[in-house]
C-alpha cells in the first residue's frame, strides 16, 4: 500500500465522508486515494474557497472538514481562509503537498509550517512511510480535540513510497471528558446569583460547541434570566420565549434595553469582544460579569470579568444549577408573562422603519424580511462580511446554532459564498442561503461556477449596492470622497446564467415571486441580484466603526 493510499484509508476509516480542494501535481495522488476510499470530492476554483467550503461544512454539520491542496502557491492561496478558520476555532484538516524533504531550492519552496503557525493553525508533517498512518491519525485527532485547523504537510517524494504491509495501525487514544469548573468558582457564582434580581445569560460559540443549550436554559429558568447569544452563538436558544437574540451591534432595541438593565451577566463560551459588548456600552457599569471559558487566557482578555470560571460551558452551567438547588436559591428575575409577550413582539424585524425602496432599488430590510417569510424554516444562513451583513443576521430566523454560519472572525470579505457551498454539501436537507455583498461575490466569482457544476440546491442572495458599502457609509458622512469605493452595476443574474445557474434581478419584494417556483424544484443554484438602495445606511455600522 502506498503512503497516499494509507492516508486516504486512515481518514475514511476515521469517518471522513467528504472533502474539498483543488487538484495539482503535488496533491494528485493523495486526493485520488482519499476519493478512491469513498470520500466524496468537491473541487473548488480557488484554494481559499476550498478551505471555506470545508469551514462551512464543519460549522453546519459539526464534522471535521478536510481540504487537499498543492504545495507552494496552492498552500499560500489558502491563507485567508485558514486564518478565518483558526480565529474561529474551526476543526479542519488541510492536506498540503510539500516539496521533497531535503530539497535546497524549488520554485515551490516556502516554509509551510511557519506560515501555518503564523496564522494560528497547527503544523504537522508526514515524517516517513512507516509513520504515515500515525501522522494522519494524529493530525485529525488534534483538529478534533484542539478545535483548530491542522495543516498536514505531505512531501511529494513520499506519496509513492510503500507503507509496511498490513492494515494501518491506529494509536489508542482514550475518550476525553471536557473539564468541569472548580467548586470555589461555582460557589462564587452562586453567591452573586443569590443577590441578583435581573440576571442575563450570553452564550457564545463555546456554549454551542459544548451542547450547552439545555443546561443554560435550566440555569435561566432557575434564576429568571433573559437569554442572548453572541453572533457566533446565534440560534442556540431559538424558540425559547425568553431569548432576546444577538447581544451587541445586531441587537434589537428591546434586547439592548433588557441587557442594559442586567445586574449580573453570565457569559458562557463568549469572548465578549467589542461588538458583543458594544464597545463597553451594552451592559451597565454596575453589572457583575461572570465569564466561563475552557481557555483561561480568554477570561477577562477583551472585557472585564469579576469572576472567571475555567471549564466546559455545559458542565459549568449544570454545576451552578446544582449549587443553587442545594442552597435553595432561585427567583423570577426578569421573567413575567408581560415580558414574554414583549419579547415575542420585539424582534428586530418587527421594529418600525421607513421603507426607502424606490422604483430602481429595494430597501435591504424589506428584502430580507420578505425572504424570511418566503423561505422554509429548515435553513442554513451563511453570511459574508460587508455593510449588508447585519440584515441577514437580524432579520433571517435560524433553526439552531448550526443554522447560522458566520465567517467573520477575520472579517475578510469574499468568504461567504464558499461557506454556503460547504453548508449545502453538509446539510442537503436544509436550504443553504449564502448572503453576500456585490464586492464579496465578485471576489469569489469562480465559486459560483462550483455551485452550478455540482447543481447544489442553494440560494445566493447578493445585496448589490455597486459599492464597498462599509467604506462609503463610514467615510462619506465625514465629507471624504468615496468614488474609489463605487463601481458600475454588475448583472449577477447574467453571470449566474453564464455558468449554469439560475439568476433573477430584484428591485422590489414583488420581484421575489420566481423564488417560490424555484423552491419547488431546487435543481440548480438560484442567484438573487438584489439591487439594494445604496443610500440606506445599516444601523449596526456606526457601532462596528466606533473603534476608529
Report domain extents, the chain.
Answer: 3-155, 183-345, 353-544
- What is the fold, at CATH topology level, of the domain defined by 3-155? Rossmann fold (3.40.50)
Torsion of CA 16, 51, 246, 535, to 10 degrees: -150
Are 530 and 490 in contact by the 8 Å Cβ rule? The answer is: no
DSSP classification of residue 254: H
- What is the fold, at CATH topology level, of the domain defined by 353-544? Rossmann fold (3.40.50)
pLDDT at site 346: 83
Specify the range with the lowest mean pLDDT, choosing from 211-215, 294-298, 492-496.
294-298
Are 295 and 197 in contact by the 8 Å Cβ rule? The answer is: no
Q: What share of the chain is helix, strand, coil (3-state, %, to 5)?
A: 45, 15, 40
Structure confidence at residue 268 as a pLDDT band (50, 70, 90)? very high
Structure confidence at residue 108 as a pLDDT band (50, 70, 90)? confident
Q: What is the mean pLDDT of residues 485-497?
A: 96
> What gap in Å lies between CA 100 and CA 125, rounded to an integer?
12
> What gap in Å lies between CA 268 and CA 237, rounded to an integer?
13
Kindly provide the b/e burial profile for residues 310-328, where b requires at least 16 CB atoms within 10 angstroms of the residue's own CB: bbbbbbbbbbbbebbeeee
Structure confidence at residue 547 as a pLDDT band (50, 70, 90)? low
Q: What is the mean pLDDT of residues 98-126?
A: 91
Query: Considering the chain, what percentage of its residues have pLDDT values greater than 70?
Result: 98
Are 181 and 188 in contact by the 8 Å Cβ rule? The answer is: no
Taking only the tens place, the pLDDT of each residue in 25-73 is: 999 999 999 999 999 999 999 999 999 999 999 999 999 999 999 999 9
How many separate helices (H) and strands (E) can be counted in the chain? 22, 18
pLDDT at site 429: 96
Are 403 and 56 in contact by the 8 Å Cβ rule? The answer is: no
CATH superfamily of the domain spanning 183-345: TPP-binding domain (3.40.50.1220)
For the chain, what is the mean pLDDT?
94
Structure confidence at residue 474 as a pLDDT band (50, 70, 90)? confident
> What gap in Å lies between CA 38 and CA 10, rounded to an integer?
12
548 has pLDDT over 60: no
3-state secondary structure of 28: helix
Q: What is the mean pLDDT of residues 486-515?
A: 97
Kindly provide the b/e burial profile for residues 150-186, where b requires at least 16 CB atoms within 10 angstroms of the residue's own CB: bbbbbbbebbebebeeeebeeeeeeeeeeebbeeebb
> What gap in Å lies between CA 79 and CA 89, rounded to an integer?
15
Are 468 and 494 in contact by the 8 Å Cβ rule? The answer is: no
165 has pLDDT over 80: no
537 has pLDDT over 70: yes
Evaluate whether 3-155 and 353-544 have a shared fold. Answer: yes
Amino acid at each position: 500500500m502506498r503512503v497516499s493510499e494509507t492516508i486516504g484509508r486512515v481518514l475514511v476509516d476515521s469517518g471522513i465522508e467528504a472533502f474539498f480542494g483543488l487538484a495539482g501535481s503535488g496533491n494528485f495522488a493523495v486526493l485520488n486515494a482519499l476519493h478512491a476510499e469513498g470520500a466524496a470530492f468537491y473541487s473548488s476554483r480557488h484554494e481559499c474557497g476550498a478551505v471555506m467550503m470545508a469551514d462551512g461544512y464543519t460549522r453546519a454539520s459539526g464534522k471535521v472538514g478536510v481540504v487537499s491542496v498543492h504545495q507552494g502557491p496552492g498552500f499560500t492561496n489558502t491563507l485567508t481562509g485558514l486564518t478565518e478558520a483558526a480565529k474561529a476555532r474551526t476543526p479542519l484538516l488541510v492536506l498540503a503537498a510539500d516539496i521533497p524533504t531535503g530539497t535546497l531550492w524549488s520554485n515551490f519552496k516556502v516554509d509551510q509550517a511557519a506560515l501555518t503557525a503564523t496564522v494560528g493553525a497547527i503544523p504537522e508533517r508526514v515524517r516517513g512511510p512507516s509513520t504515515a498512518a500515525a501522522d494522519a491519525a494524529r493530525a485529525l485527532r488534534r483538529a478534533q480535540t484542539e478545535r483548530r485547523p491542522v495543516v498536514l504537510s505531505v512531501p511529494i517524494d513520499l506519496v509513492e513510497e510503500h507503507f509496511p504491509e498490513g492494515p494501518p495501525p491506529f494509536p489508542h487514544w482514550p475518550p476525553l471528558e471536557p473539564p468541569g469548573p472548580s467548586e470555589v468558582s461555582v460557589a462564587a457564582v452562586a453567591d452573586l446569583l443569590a443577590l441578583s434580581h435581573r440576571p442575563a445569560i450570553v452564550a457564545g460559540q463555546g456554549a454551542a460547541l459544548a451542547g450547552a443549550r439545555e443546561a443554560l436554559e435550566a440555569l435561566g429558568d432557575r434564576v429568571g434570566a433573559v437569554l442572548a447569544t453572541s453572533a457566533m452563538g446565534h440560534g442556540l436558544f431559538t424558540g425559547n420565549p425568553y431569548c432576546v437574540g444577538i447581544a451587541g451591534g445586531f441587537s434589537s432595541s428591546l434586547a439592548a434595553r433588557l441587557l442594559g438593565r442586567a445586574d449580573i451577566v453570565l457569559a458562557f463560551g463568549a469572548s465578549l469582544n467589542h461588538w458583543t459588548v458594544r464597545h463597553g456600552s451594552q451592559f451597565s457599569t454596575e453589572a457583575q460579569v461572570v465569564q466561563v471559558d475552557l481557555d483561561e487566557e480568554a477570561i477577562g482578555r477583551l472585557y472585564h470579568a469579576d469572576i472567571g470560571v475555567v471549564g466546559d460551558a455545559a458542565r459549568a452551567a449544570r454545576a451552578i444549577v446544582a449549587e443553587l438547588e442545594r442552597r435553595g436559591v432561585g427567583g423570577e428575575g426578569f421573567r413575567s408573562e408581560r415580558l414574554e409577550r414583549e419579547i415575542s413582539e420585539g424582534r428586530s424585524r418587527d421594529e418600525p422603519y421607513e421603507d426607502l425602496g424606490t422604483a430602481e432599488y429595494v430597501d435591504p430590510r424589506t428584502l430580507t424580511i420578505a425572504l424570511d417569510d418566503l423561505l422554509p424554516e429548515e435553513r442554513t444562513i451563511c453570511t459574508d462580511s460587508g455593510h449588508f451583513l447585519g440584515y441577514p443576521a437580524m432579520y433571517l430566523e435560524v433553526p439552531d446554532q448550526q443554522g447560522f454560519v458566520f465567517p467573520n472572525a477575520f472579517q475578510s470579505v469574499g468568504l461567504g459564498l464558499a461557506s454556503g457551498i460547504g453548508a449545502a454539501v453538509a446539510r442537503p436537507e436544509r436550504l443553504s442561503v449564502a448572503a453576500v455583498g456585490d464586492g464579496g461575490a465578485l471576489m469569489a466569482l469562480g465559486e459560483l461556477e462550483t455551485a452550478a457544476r455540482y447543481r447544489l440546491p442553494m440560494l445566493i442572495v447578493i445585496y448589490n449596492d455597486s459599492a464597498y458599502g462599509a467604506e462609503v457609509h463610514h467615510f462619506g458622512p465625514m465629507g471624504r470622497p468615496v468614488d474609489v469605493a463605487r463601481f458600475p452595476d454588475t448583472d449577477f443574474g447574467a453571470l449566474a446564467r453564464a455558468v449554469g445557474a439560475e439568476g433573477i434581478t430584484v428591485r422590489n419584494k414583488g420581484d421575489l415571486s420566481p423564488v417560490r417556483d424555484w423552491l419547488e424544484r431546487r435543481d440548480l443554484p438560484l442567484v438573487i441580484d438584489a439591487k439594494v438602495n445604496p443610500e440606506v445606511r445599516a444601523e449596526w455600522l456606526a457601532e462596528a466603526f466606533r473603534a476608529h
